[in-house]
């Protein structure tokens, strides 16, 4: 079923944050920071992969993501939905089902044998492809997936994620300079607001997180 009518973007952001908190996907710890894939410290960590184990939340968020993309990009804007290996694959499949479109996925690198392919599934020249991922931080990792899609002769001008950090100002410019528009459901600011409303963490923890969100680079530099 293709969803066509859902809450405002603001309410979608609040509800998404609430769901992420409810399943324990949000982790805050300013005293013992997490190490991100970049190697930099962070008092925040989010595990969107957990969503696949919660059917009601999973279905609701995929409806939200589908309608967000359609509202922003158009109802007939795509011919194919691609997931980024690995976290984006289940979400791409669920969005593709809702949009009644073919689904493919993009490997991080060629698999090294057989066809040595990066694209799995059927993607053809001229197709307009939506790249679906679980989250984005600074947008950099999306570019390799986009380039792999474009190497097939398809186009890719949009990426959709459940969670966007929303704290690195260069992210949307990085994607925009590469000809890619970003669509998302919520950010760390939405999660922080909902965590405060729920009293999900103590005030000291939330204040430490807010300090990081206001100037993440300075926070990381002081602890690296």
What are the binding residues for 5-phospho-alpha-D-ribose 1-diphosphate? 107-108, 111, 133-141
Question: Annotated binding site, which residues?
Answer: 107-108, 111, 133-141
Count of residues for the chain? 224
Which amino acids are annotated as binding site for orotate, given as ranges? 137
Residue 4 vs residues 11, 29, 98, 135, 185: alpha-carbon distances, Å: 16, 38, 11, 23, 16
The three-state secondary structure class of 215 is coil
Sheet holding 103-106, edge to edge: 119-120, 103-106, 80-84, 128-136, 155-164, 181-186
CA–CA separation, 219 vs 203, rounded Å? 18
Find out whether 135 and 48 touch, Cβ atoms under 8 Å: yes
Angle at 74 between CA 72 and CA 145, to 5 degrees: 75
């Amino acid at each position: 079923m293709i969803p066509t009518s859902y809450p405002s973007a603001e309410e979608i952001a609040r509800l998404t944050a609430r769901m992420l908190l409810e399943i324990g996907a949000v982790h805050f710890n300013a005293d013992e920071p997490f190490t991100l894939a970049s190697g930099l410290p962070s008092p925040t960590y989010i595990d969107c992969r957990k969503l696949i184990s919660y059917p009601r939340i999973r279905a609701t968020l995929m409806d939200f993501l589908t309608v967000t993309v359609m509202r922003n990009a158009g109802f007939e804007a795509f011919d194919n939905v691609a997931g980024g290996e690995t976290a984006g694959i289940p979400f791409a499949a669920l969005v593709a089902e809702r949009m009644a479109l073919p689904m493919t996925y993009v490997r991080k690198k060629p698999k090294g044998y057989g066809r040595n392919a990066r694209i799995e599934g059927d993607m053809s020249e001229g197709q307009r492809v939506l790249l679906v991922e679980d989250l984005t931080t600074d947008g950099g990792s999306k570019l390799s997936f986009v380039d792999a899609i474009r190497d097939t002769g398809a186009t890719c001008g949009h990426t959709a994620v459940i969670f966007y950090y929303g704290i690195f100002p260069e992210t949307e410019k990085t994607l925009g300079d590469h000809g890619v528009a970003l669509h998302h459901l919520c950010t760390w600011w939405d999660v922080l607001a909902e965590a405060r409303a729920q009293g999900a963490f103590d005030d000291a923890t939330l204040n430490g997180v807010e300090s990081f969100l206001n100037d993440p680079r300075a926070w990381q530099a002081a602890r690296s």
